[in-house]
Structure 1
Amino acid sequence: MELGLATFADLAADISPEQRMKNLIEEATLADDLGFDVFAIGEHHREDFLISSPAIPLAAAAVMTERIRLSSAVTVLSSDDPVRVFQDFAQVDLLSGGRAEIMAGRGSFVESFPLFGLDLDDYDELYAEKLDLLLKLRERTHVTWSGRHRAPLRDAGVYPRPVQERLPVWVAVGGSPQSVVRAGTLGLPLTVAIIGGRPERFVPLVELYREALADAGHDPAVGKVAINTHGFVGATSARADAAFAAPYLQMMNRIGRERGWPPSGRREYEALRSPRGAVAAGSPEQVAEKLLFEHDLFGHDRYVIQMSVGAVEHAEVLRSMERFAADVAPVVREEVTRRAAPAPA
Structure 2
Amino acid sequence: MEIGIDSFAAAAPAGTDSQTENRRKSLTELIDRIVYADEMGLDVFGIGEHHRKEFLDSATAIILAAAAARTSRIKLTSAVTVLSAADPVRVFQEFATIDLISNGRAEIIAGRGSFTEAFPLFGLRLNDYDALFSEKLELLLKIRDEEIVTWRGQFRPALNQQAIYPRPVQESLPIWQGVGGTPASFARAGTLGLPLMVAVIGGETHRFRPLVDLYREAGAKAGHAPEKLKVGLHSLGYVAESTEQAVEAYYPGYAETFTRIGRERGWPPVTRNHFNAQTGPFGALVVGGVEDVAEKILRHSESLGGIDRFTFQMDNANLSHTQLKNAIELIGKEVIPRVKAGL
CA deviations 1:62-109 (Å, max 9, x no partner) are: 010000000000000000000000000000000000000000001111
Mapping of 1:48-59 within 5 angstroms?
Answer: 48-59=54-65
Segments of 5+ residues of structure 2 without an aligned counterpart are 16-21
User: Following TM superposition, by how much is the alpha carbon of 1:10 offset from its aligned partner in structure 2, in angstroms?
Assistant: 1.2
Q: Confirm or deny that 1:313 pairs with 2:320.
A: yes
Match of 1:343 in 2: none
User: Following TM superposition, by how much is the alpha carbon of 1:118 offset from its aligned partner in structure 2, in angstroms?
Assistant: 0.2
2:224 aligned counterpart, secondary structure: coil
**Of 171, 177, 190, which residue of structure 2 is paired with 1:171?**
177
Question: Root-mean-square deviation (CA), in Å?
Answer: 0.9
User: Following TM superposition, by how much is the alpha carbon of 1:12 offset from its aligned partner in structure 2, in angstroms?
Assistant: 3.5
Q: Confirm or deny that 1:236 pairs with 2:254.
A: no
Q: Runs (4+) of structure 1 moved beyond 6 Å?
A: none
User: Following TM superposition, by how much is the alpha carbon of 1:132 offset from its aligned partner in structure 2, in angstroms?
Assistant: 0.3
Match of 1:5 in 2: 5
Question: Within 2, Cα distance between the matches of 1:248 and 1:59?
Answer: 29
Question: Within 1, Cα distance between the matches of 2:103 and 2:45?
Answer: 15
2:326 aligned counterpart, secondary structure: helix
Preserved contact between residue 243 and residue 313 of structure 1 (Cα < 8 Å) = no
Match of 2:67 in 1: 61
Match of 1:326 in 2: 333
**Of 248, 269, 272, which residue of structure 2 is paired with 1:266?**
272
Preserved contact between residue 173 and residue 193 of structure 1 (Cα < 8 Å) = yes
Q: Which moved more, 1:126-135 or 1:261-270?
A: 261-270
Segments of 5+ residues of structure 1 without an aligned counterpart are 337-345
2:73 aligned counterpart, secondary structure: coil
Code of the residue aligned with 2:120 in structure 1: it is P
**Of 284, 295, 306, which residue of structure 2 is paired with 1:289?**
295
TM-score, scaled relative to structure 2: 0.97
**Of 189, 200, 204, which residue of structure 1 is paired with 2:210?**
204
Question: Within 2, Cα distance between the matches of 1:241 and 1:310?
Answer: 11
1:296 aligned counterpart, secondary structure: helix
User: Following TM superposition, by how much is the alpha carbon of 1:323 offset from its aligned partner in structure 2, in angstroms?
Assistant: 1.2
Question: Within 1, Cα distance between the matches of 2:124 and 2:335?
Answer: 43
CA deviations 1:32-72 (Å, max 9, x no partner) are: 00101100000000101111021101000001000000000
Preserved contact between residue 12 and residue 310 of structure 1 (Cα < 8 Å) = no
Question: Within 2, Cα distance between the matches of 1:310 and 1:23?
Answer: 16
**Of 26, 32, 40, which residue of structure 2 is paired with 1:26?**
32
**Of 81, 88, 99, which residue of structure 2 is paired with 1:93?**
99
Question: Within 1, Cα distance between the matches of 2:125 and 2:310?
Answer: 34
CA deviations 1:19-43 (Å, max 9, x no partner) are: 0100110111011001011000000
CA deviations 1:151-175 (Å, max 9, x no partner) are: 0000001000000011110000011
- Percent identical across equivalent pairs? 51
Match of 1:74 in 2: 80
TM-score, scaled relative to structure 1: 0.96
How many corresponding residue pairs?
336
Question: Within 1, Cα distance between the matches of 2:87 and 2:53?
Answer: 22
Question: Within 2, Cα distance between the matches of 1:11 and 1:17?
Answer: 6
Question: Within 2, Cα distance between the matches of 1:327 and 1:215?
Answer: 39
Code of the residue aligned with 1:247 in structure 2: it is G
CA deviations 1:155-199 (Å, max 9, x no partner) are: 001000000011110000011111110000000000000100001
Code of the residue aligned with 1:276 in structure 2: it is F
User: Following TM superposition, by how much is the alpha carbon of 1:330 offset from its aligned partner in structure 2, in angstroms?
Assistant: 0.5
Match of 2:141 in 1: 135
User: Following TM superposition, by how much is the alpha carbon of 1:326 offset from its aligned partner in structure 2, in angstroms?
Assistant: 1.7
**Of 150, 153, 159, which residue of structure 1 is paired with 2:165?**
159
User: Following TM superposition, by how much is the alpha carbon of 1:258 offset from its aligned partner in structure 2, in angstroms?
Assistant: 0.7
Preserved contact between residue 11 and residue 310 of structure 1 (Cα < 8 Å) = no
1:229 aligned counterpart, secondary structure: strand
1:9 aligned counterpart, secondary structure: coil
Code of the residue aligned with 1:309 in structure 2: it is N
1:151 aligned counterpart, secondary structure: coil
Code of the residue aligned with 2:3 in structure 1: it is L
Mapping of 1:330-345 within 5 angstroms?
Answer: 330-336=337-343
